[in-house]
Amino acid sequence: MKFRVMNKNKNMSMTDCISYMQAKELGIKFLTGDKEFEDLENVEFIKK
């Protein structure tokens, strides 16, 4: 929740934010095609 509030200017779903934080805590990459996450650390971005 805190992550989503800190990034409220981006269009991120609550589910994506929770998944991103869980991946970060587990030390694994967050795989996504959502541009909102493209420049964040710990993200493996795949263009759609």
What is the Cα–Cα distance from 42 to 3, expressed in whole angstroms?
Answer: 14
Mean local confidence (pLDDT), 29-46: 94
Q: Is the pLDDT of residue 5 over 70?
A: no
Q: What are the tens digits of pLDDT across the range 7-18?
A: 777 778 889 889
pTM score: 0.78
Counting the structural domains of the chain, the total is 1
- Write out the residue range of the structural domain in which residue 18 sits: 2-45
pLDDT of amino acid 17: 87
Q: What is the pLDDT of residue 32?
A: 94
Cβ partners under 8 Å of residue 43, min gap 6 = 20, 29, 30, 31, 32, 37
